[in-house]
Structure 1
Amino acid sequence: MTNSTNGGSGAAAGLVNLKSLSHKELAELVESLGQPSFRTKQIEDWIWNKNVSSLDEMTNLPKTLREALAAKVSVGGVEEVARQVSSDGSRKYLLRYPDGVTVECVGMPTKNRLAVCASTQAGCAMGCAFCATGAAGLTRSLTSAEIYEQVMHVRDDFNTRVTSVVLMGQGEPFMNYDATLGALRKLNNPDGGGIGARHLTVSTCGVIPNIIRFGKEPEQFTLAVSLHSAVQSTRNALMPGVKKYSLVNLYNTMGEYVNKTGRRPTYEYALIGGVNDTGEELNALCDFCKGTLAHVNLIQLNEVSGSKFKPSTPQRAQDFVQRLARVGVEATIRNSRGSDIDAACGQLRQRMAGK
């Protein structure tokens, strides 16, 4: 959705972004302009449900109110810089925010459903060795509205309701915790995305303090942890950003999370040939998960240009599934979507196609 000259990002200099205001702050603004309180609900419907990028589009507001708002606020919004369509129907978007920062997100349709993979940061500071996103480091964290806008942009492009969202795109959600939770709550809100809490998933590298915090939240949001190895030395090499959070502490924290929430977490495990798919690694993974409430999501490593890592074989992935089943742990092999347009896990990198 492109920006209008009235209240869009192009006119944002010196103005407050309307989407950054809380309900209370917006209500106070509406009251200060001498307007009835129901105008607050109308404005919120335009920005959170209809996803407009201009005050001009708020056609049930009096023109005088729109002009008064234009002197104080901008609508913000995103501009689509590039869009690629995969052979499997997935679409990857490069979106630009008013300050020029860009992020990528992905829409993945299946029959009667639309899943969105959204980013919580522009870039990433975690430095995972097999992931393209972290190669250029972190640009900045996104606001809750900026995370939410990605999902709405995908919804509008497909012209269909989003049924699930995974915050597994660029960035570490738990290094941007408050904005991540704010976005989840807006996506869950019936007056926002209207998506059930259990269909909203956060993926973390294992930032233990915020896993603990997440377990205390009242909503039934879903948690996924990027594990990738249950051998400490391997995990340290693959995921240096969480080296200070040991596997022993992660194991104990996840046990507390399950006890407190009753919810089953998912462990993400990208199979890398000769690195984390060995017999020793499989034994360690079985030991880590055995006797716990957990689901293992095995990912065939997606090729990243210039990376020394190569995917494991499909047969080895089946070996992992069968062996985990023998110790009572359910595992599935993820159907990777959008790899032909660099839209799959670990491939997002804020770049134009071909660059």
Structure 2
Amino acid sequence: MEQTDILSLSLAELESCMKEMGQPKFRAKQIFSWLHQKQVTSFAEMTSLSLQLREKLQEKFCINRLNIARRLASSIDDTVKYLYELPDGNFVETVLMEYHHGKSLCISTQVGCRMGCQFCASTIAGFVRNLTPAEMLLQIYETQRDAGCRIDSLVLMGIGEPMDNFENVVTFFRLLSHPDGFGMSLRHVTVSTCGLVPRIRELADLHLGVTLSVSLHSPENRRRSEIMPVNRKYPVEELLEACRYYFSETGRRVTMEYAVIEGVNCTRQDAKALADRLAGMQCHVNLIPVNPIAERSFRTLRRSVERFQQELESLGVHATIRRTLGSDIQAACGQLRRDAGKSLENAQENESRNKP
């Protein structure tokens, strides 16, 4: 019998399972607490349940784990990057960061990405599959176990496009914030998107309270379509209108992420076009020095980022420069997974060559 991944089940779904098993409803709440508050890794640890029930749970359900394939600790700040191996042998990346407000974790939502953004390492190795709600939660739980800390805030900016895995991400949000579970306020959660307009509107209608971060990277449709294929389907005008809708429905100011790329999007003219696009919007711009990757020629000079910030500020646009963390450990998402994939391919090729 195929086992069900119990970490992905809501409390209501657990209650339904308990009813089917002839158990009282309150057992579901006990199990939910063991899973998401105490974060046990086996049913044997659920000592408030009878041995008979624990054995039945073991037959019907599974509690998966993520294996730490690599753990890189920065020597210049407190950033730690994890390459997690999933139960099926795929890899995702998770980054633990230290801020003045506490520990923040950047998690992945997919194995790979199909969005095709030209400056991103995540998309190079291709899209494999969506992560389950449990696999998103496990990035938090495994990191807490390894680092011995409580995660205070969360960003969905790792590998994958969260809005392309919308249903699982929303389920994850509800599990994450449940008062009988992990109990994180969704006001401490930021979800990043390259611009899937219908999903932005759906998220707004749910009124979950998460912060929306939009990867804009160019105010002009022609240039944005060159570096971000999603713009060919959802152009800048539609994207910004969806962002205005998000603010009107939630009262949450939208962050515009802008990777400053030499020779692509950081001229005075670009600054003026961006200021015109954002006029009257409740948002702020977060400028990002683009991360160099071997397969692309995109580069950023620090002085170009600072100059672009000054130009935006002079035009009345509030802009900050993202603090660079873990630059010595490839903290930009996608690079460790890509390297792990290459290593696996090389090992398989060598094994094949050595076979008689």
What is the CA–CA distance in structure 2 between the aligned matches of 1:346 and 1:230, rounded to whole Å?
Answer: 25
Normalising by structure 2, we get a TM-score of 0.90
- Provide, for residues 140-174 of structure 1, a one-character-per-residue CA deviation record: whole Å limited to 9, x for no partner: 00111211111222222222211110000011111
- Structure 2 contact 112–159 (Cα < 8 Å) conserved: yes
Change (3 A) 1:256 1:37: closer
Give me the identity figure in percent. 42
Matched, 1:31 2:23: no
2:116 to 127, 135, 159: 127
Partner of 1:243: 232
What is the CA–CA distance in structure 2 between the aligned matches of 1:330 and 1:348, rounded to whole Å?
Answer: 33
Deviation for aligned residue 1:209 = 0.5
- Structure 1 contact 132–348 (Cα < 8 Å) conserved: no
2:4 to 16, 20, 31: 16
* Pairing 1:164-313 to 2, within 5 Å after superposition: 164-311=153-300, 313=301
Deviation for aligned residue 1:345 = 5.1
What is the CA–CA distance in structure 1 between the aligned matches of 2:125 and 2:219, rounded to whole Å?
Answer: 27
Whichever structure has more helix as a proportion of its residues is 2
* Pairing 1:132-147 to 2, within 5 Å after superposition: 132-147=121-136
Matched, 1:46 2:65: no
Opposite residue 167 of structure 2, the aligned amino acid is D
2:51 to 46, 50, 63: 63
Normalising by structure 1, we get a TM-score of 0.90
Partner of 1:102: 91
User: Once structures 1 and 2 are overlaid, which stretch shifts more, 137-146 or 103-112?
Assistant: 103-112
SS in 1 for 2:92: strand
Deviation for aligned residue 1:255 = 2.0
Which sections of structure 1, spanning at least 5 residues, go unmatched?
Answer: 1-12
SS in 2 for 1:219: coil
Change (3 A) 1:36 1:253: closer
What is the CA–CA distance in structure 2 between the aligned matches of 1:148 and 1:102, rounded to whole Å?
Answer: 15
What is the CA–CA distance in structure 2 between the aligned matches of 1:281 and 1:178, rounded to whole Å?
Answer: 36
SS in 1 for 2:281: coil
- Structure 2 contact 104–152 (Cα < 8 Å) conserved: yes
Q: How many residues align?
A: 342
- Structure 1 contact 170–348 (Cα < 8 Å) conserved: no
| Two-structure CA RMSD over aligned residues (Å) | 2.0
- Structure 2 contact 6–61 (Cα < 8 Å) conserved: yes
Deviation for aligned residue 1:238 = 0.8
Deviation for aligned residue 1:262 = 2.1
What is the CA–CA distance in structure 2 between the aligned matches of 1:233 and 1:346, rounded to whole Å?
Answer: 26
What is the CA–CA distance in structure 2 between the aligned matches of 1:17 and 1:253, rounded to whole Å?
Answer: 35
- Structure 1 contact 80–96 (Cα < 8 Å) conserved: yes
What is the CA–CA distance in structure 2 between the aligned matches of 1:259 and 1:68, rounded to whole Å?
Answer: 48
Change (3 A) 1:278 1:327: closer
- Structure 2 contact 91–337 (Cα < 8 Å) conserved: no
Partner of 1:3: none
Opposite residue 256 of structure 1, the aligned amino acid is Y
Deviation for aligned residue 1:354 = 9.3
- Provide, for residues 21-43 of structure 1, a one-character-per-residue CA deviation record: whole Å limited to 9, x for no partner: 33233223323434333321121
User: Once structures 1 and 2 are overlaid, which stretch shifts more, 207-216 or 316-325?
Assistant: 316-325
What is the CA–CA distance in structure 1 between the aligned matches of 2:215 and 2:6, rounded to whole Å?
Answer: 35
Partner of 1:344: 332
What is the CA–CA distance in structure 1 between the aligned matches of 2:323 and 2:336, rounded to whole Å?
Answer: 17
SS in 2 for 1:80: strand
Change (3 A) 1:352 1:50: farther
